[in-house]
């Protein structure tokens, strides 16, 4: 009563956009809004948007939430995938996944969750990340996501090749444009 509401169709995009430059005070507001949400679907809008914050300390808070009952098993792959899609915190999210794999794995036993989470690793676009992902899953073979892992490695390889191929042209263009 007396509160403004967000249009449900634009709320996820708006909340995510605001989060990008957010600080701890905004994080706390998101957390409070998620906890007071009338349904889990509304609450997850705020917690998913928390993955857009660029502050590593806030990312740590959000990643730790993945191990709690706050994030439902059917939401965990998408939840962690959002952290993996944020270039500012993606390496941190991957390190978190590796460190907590034994806790995460049972939570992604829901249909297609393992595939989705492994697929999200394709956002890491470095040869070091590719080697690390390959080594990790050699030691911890995916149960249902072998094909997703192959596609992820291919996606990283394509990204790295594109970056290596286009970086010199982009640098030359930027240098010429700066003159």
pLDDT in tens, 115-153: 999 999 999 999 999 999 999 999 999 988 999 999 999
Instruction: Write the DSSP symbol of residue 156.
Output: H
| Overall size of the chain counted in residues | 179
- Tokens encoding 50: 């928390």
- Tokens encoding 91: 């390496």
Whether pTM > 0.85 for this model: the answer is yes
Instruction: Write the DSSP symbol of residue 74.
Output: G
Mention every residue, 6+ apart, whose C-beta is less than 8 A from residue 118: 137, 142, 145, 148, 149, 152
pLDDT at 2: 52
Is the pLDDT reported for residue 64 higher than 60?
yes
Planar angle of CA 115, 42, 99, nearest 5 degrees: 40
- What's the half-sphere exposure (Cβ side, CA atoms, 13 Å) at 64? 6
């Amino acid at each position: 009563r007396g509160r403004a509401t967000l249009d449900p169709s634009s709320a996820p995009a708006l909340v995510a956009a605001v989060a990008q430059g957010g600080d701890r005070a905004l994080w706390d507001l998101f957390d409070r809004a998620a906890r007071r949400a009338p349904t889990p679907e509304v609450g997850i809008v705020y917690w998913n948007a928390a993955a857009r914050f660029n502050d590593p300390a806030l990312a740590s808070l959000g990643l730790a939430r993945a191990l709690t009952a706050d994030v439902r098993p059917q939401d965990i792959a998408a939840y962690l995938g959002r952290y993996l899609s944020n270039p500012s915190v993606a390496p941190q999210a991957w390190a978190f996944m590796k460190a907590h794999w034994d806790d995460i794995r049972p939570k992604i036993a829901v249909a297609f969750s393992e595939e989705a989470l492994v697929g999200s690793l394709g956002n890491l676009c470095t040869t070091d990340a590719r080697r690390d992902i390959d080594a990790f899953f050699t030691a911890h073979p995916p149960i249902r996501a072998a094909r997703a892992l192959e596609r992820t490695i291919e996606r990283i390889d394509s990204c790295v090749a594109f970056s290596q191929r286009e970086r010199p042209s982009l640098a030359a263009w930027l240098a010429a444009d700066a003159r």
